[in-house]
Amino acid sequence: NNEVVYVPMSEAIRSDKPFDRKLIQVLDELSI
């Protein structure tokens, strides 16, 4: 599961968009 989440996160970081960054925060909260 970590790998599946890691790929979208890296892509979101590359795009560097506010929406994607917020999405990363949500994923981080869910992972914790």
pLDDT one-digit tens code per residue, 6-26: 656 666 566 566 666 788 888
DSSP the chain: -HHHHHHHHHHHHHHT-HHHHHHHHHHHHHH-
Total of domains in the chain: 1
pLDDT of residue 25: 86
- Structural domain including 21 reads 2-31
DSSP 16: T
Residue type, 10: S
Q: What angle do CA 4, 16, 23 make, to 5 degrees?
A: 50
pLDDT value at position 15? 58
